[in-house]
Amino acid sequence: MARTPLKAALRTAQKTRTAARGALLWGYEQRLAREVRAHGRLPRHLGLILDGNRRFARAAGMQRELGHTIGADKAHEVLQWCLELGIPAATIWVLSTDNAGRNSEELAHILSLLEKEARNLATDPRIHANRVRVRAIGQHDNFPPNVLAALEELEQKTAHYDGMRLNIAVGYGGREEIVDAVKAHLRAQQAAGHTLAQAADALTPDHISAHLYAADIPDPDFIIRTSGEIRLSGFMLWQSVYSEYYFCDVYWPGFRRVDFLRALRDFQGRDRRFGK
């Protein structure tokens, strides 16, 4: 019984310290936001590699499927942060062609989440109030019909919007995108009556760029990858030739607004030379 008041005092002290840390973090986050807004230079097209869902779940003692669920909620948060700052375009990489080979239960869960989130976005007031045009990019031929229908509905409902552009890269691989672009160009050349030799002789990088999945928006000038992995893993290989990269140690579900703002502040401090 003599220890009870001491334990209570320790708990109170711990709560006080936690509250103080929270207040300090909030203050720091507000200062970062002011600095980022004051600087003014933001990415025209932000790429986000959403990595670390399974490791987040494992570290927290959760089932790995919960990591993907929490990661999907985090994507909604980051969309809000982009809208608040006025970032014109963003591409989020949700599922790669390599990940399509994961175990069937995990893949089914990811596709179920994709369908759910596509239907949520199709009715999300933020999407319509901000006139966000959403498009799914990648190879989707093997997706279940219900997932394809949800993605098609989302694209149709936002196709006429002229606000922020949001690309959801799903069933996506950078090499596959380049191959698809080359195929599309060759088919166009054939339709125009050109021979294969003529098409090869006249081929330029601009011809490939014109047939990429998101050819109508600028290449990403800033790419953020979470989870501490320092590689692109095939994300927008063609378009990222002059991109700036930022690798963040935190797993995607734990990605905070303060992490987002730190990344943008880092981007604003860089001298972009475009290979020169």
Which CATH number is 166's domain given?
Answer: 3.40.1180.10
Same domain, 209 and 262: yes
pLDDT at residue 9 is higher than 60:
no
Amino acid 263: pLDDT: 98
Same domain, 56 and 22: no
Amino acid 272: pLDDT: 85
Question: Considering the domain boundaries, does residue 275 fall inside one?
Answer: no
pLDDT at residue 256 is higher than 80:
yes
Is 99 noted as a catalytic residue in this protein? yes
pLDDT tens for residues 45-97? Answer: 999 999 999 999 999 999 989 999 999 999 999 999 999 999 999 999 999 98
Give the other-Cβ count within 10 Å of 244's Cβ: 16
> How far apart (Å, rounded) are the C-alpha atoms in residues 16 and 21?
9
Q: How far is CA 271 from the centre of its chain?
A: 24
State mean pLDDT over 114-119: 96
Same domain, 4 and 77: no
Domain span holding position 73: 44-268
Amino acid 1: pLDDT: 46
List of residues 6+ apart from 196 with CB closer than 8 A: 186, 189
Amino acid 15: pLDDT: 61
Q: List the catalytic residue out of 73, 99, 141, 221.
A: 99
Going by the annotation, the residues of the binding site are 51-56, 64, 68, 96-98, 102, 225, 231-233, 244
| Token pair in block for residue 143 | 């997706």
28, 34, 36, 39 alpha-carbon torsion, rounded to 10°: -140
Going by the annotation, the residues of the binding site for Mg(2+) are 51, 244
Is residue 13 very low, low, confident or very high in pLDDT (cuts 50, 70, 90)?
Answer: low
Amino acid 5: pLDDT: 67
Same domain, 144 and 175: yes
> How far apart (Å, rounded) are the C-alpha atoms in residues 43 and 157?
26
Same domain, 9 and 54: no
Same domain, 124 and 199: yes
Same domain, 25 and 102: no
Going by the annotation, the residues of the binding site for substrate are 52-56, 64, 68, 96-98, 102, 225, 231-233
Q: Which of 166, 157, 160 is nearest to 134 (CA)?
A: 166
Q: Which helix (H) or strand (E) holds 49?
A: strand 45-49
Per the structure, the count of domains in the chain is 2
Maximum distance among all Cα pairs of the chain, rounded to whole angstroms = 93
Alpha-carbon torsion (97, 99, 101, 103), positive or negative: negative
> How far apart (Å, rounded) are the C-alpha atoms in residues 212 and 240?
13
Q: Which of 203, 44, 167 is nearest to 194 (CA)?
A: 203
Same domain, 81 and 218: yes
Is 180 noted as a catalytic residue in this protein? no
Same domain, 165 and 185: yes
> How far apart (Å, rounded) are the C-alpha atoms in residues 54 and 58?
6
Same domain, 218 and 193: yes
Question: Considering the domain boundaries, does residue 274 fall inside one?
Answer: no
